[in-house]
Amino acid sequence: MKRLKDFSYHRNLENYRDLLLVLLQKEVKVRYKSKVLGYLWSIASPLAFAFVYYIAFSGILRVRIEGYPLILMSGLFPWQWFGNSVGTAPKLFLNNSTIIKKVNFPRNIIPLATVMNHMLHFVLSLPVIVLFMMIYHKPISISWLYGMPIMILIQLVTVYGISLILASLNLFLRDIERLTQIVMTFAFYFTPIIFTLDMIPEKYRYLIPFNPAAPLMINWRHLILDGTVDFYYLGISVAYAIAFLLLGTAVYKKLAWKFAEVV
């Protein structure tokens, strides 16, 4: 029986869990190390953006939007997770070249740990949203309790799938890094983040399902501000999540054996 055990792969579930935990810990520590203000930085950036857009649209362009500060925050906070994860995804394997070249381990844990790190920061920034909702006398819905975990899971799977694709391909075609930056700029302005779904002209709304980020962000805003979700867009998000997960895994499986040669 000893022999049989030797033939099987030596990693068990506990090792997988620890691998994920240690890599996640690494991500969190690297983010905070040599930074005095730590946590504050992870909420400072979406807050600063919210402030800038508020000044630009309400102060200067004088667009009248009811409760614009909360609209901005309910868009920018989830987007920060999505955008940062996807934006940094192409370099994931490159940044971990030292360990990829030395040990054979399931490398797809790296994108998972990074995406979960960004997810953690999003969850930690939720109290800030709650605080602002209290300031603006907006009630917090009880449906957050089940809505949040569902939305977080869908976004986690989606972003993990996309990261896996970009990180794997970028090892072979390094331009993907630049391409991603440009695409993400487009995605930011073509997704209802600093504006709402209603502001998009009717004749263009059929295009929304083609943007993987849009259905997610629409539902984040619904959930945070009204405590509801739109099931049509939720369905599209789930479909995207599954599609990206499958595609990402396929790309990774196809290319992973060459990582150590090209990284």
Partner 1 sequence: MRESVVTFQNVYKSYPFYHHVRGVKNFLFDFPRNLNKIQNQQYEALRDINFEVYRGEKFGIIGHNGAGKSTTLGLIAGVLKPNKGRVTVRGRISPLLALGAGFHPELDGRENIVLNGVLMGLTRREVQRKMDEIIEFAELDEFIDQQIRVYSSGMVARLGFSVVAHLDPEILLIDEVLGVGDIRFQRKCVKKMQEFRGSDTTMILVSHSLPSVVNLCDRALWIEDHEVRMIGNAQEIAENYCKSAGVEMDLNPQKPVVNTEVTNVIF
Task: State the minimum distance, in angstroms, from the CB of residue 35 to partner 1.
Answer: 12
- Residue from 57, 73, 98, 197 binding partner 1 (CB under 8 A): 98
Sign of the alpha-carbon dihedral angle for 246, 250, 253, 259: negative
Q: Which 8-state DSSP code applies to residue 171?
A: T
Residue 38 amino acid letter:
G
Tokens in use for 109?
Answer: 């844990």
Q: Among 62, 64, 102, 137, indicate the residue that binds partner 1 (CB under 8 A).
A: 102
Ranges within 162-221 binding partner 1 (CB under 8 A):
172-176, 179
3-class secondary structure for 68-98?
HHHHHHHHHHHHHHHHHHHHHHHHHHHHCHH
Nearest to 219 by CA among 210, 209, 231: 231
For partner 1, which stretch binds (CB under 8 A), given 75-83, 98-106, 138-146, 216-224? 98-106
Give how many residues touch partner 1 by CB under 8 A: 39
* Structure-token pair, residue 57: 């649209």
Please identify, among the stretches 22-30, 41-49, 184-192, 209-217, the one whose residues bind partner 1 according to the rule CB under 8 A.
22-30
> Which residue carries 């990774």 as its tokens?
252
CA separation for the pair 85, 156 (Å, rounded): 10
Minimum separation from the CB atom of position 148 to partner 1 (A) = 29
Q: How far apart (Å, rounded) are the C-alpha atoms in residues 22 and 24?
A: 5
Q: Which is nearer to partner 1, 107 or 222 (CB)?
A: 107
Give, as one character, the DSSP assignment of residue 139. Answer: P
Q: Is 15 in the site for partner 1 (CB under 8 A)?
A: yes
**Cβ closest to partner 1, residue 19 vs residue 245:** 19
* Rg of the chain in Å (alpha carbons): 20
Tell me how far, at minimum, the Cβ of 100 lies from partner 1, in Å.
Answer: 7
Binding site for partner 1 (CB under 8 A): 3, 6-7, 10-12, 14-15, 18-19, 21-23, 25-26, 29-30, 33, 96, 98-105, 172-176, 179, 257-262
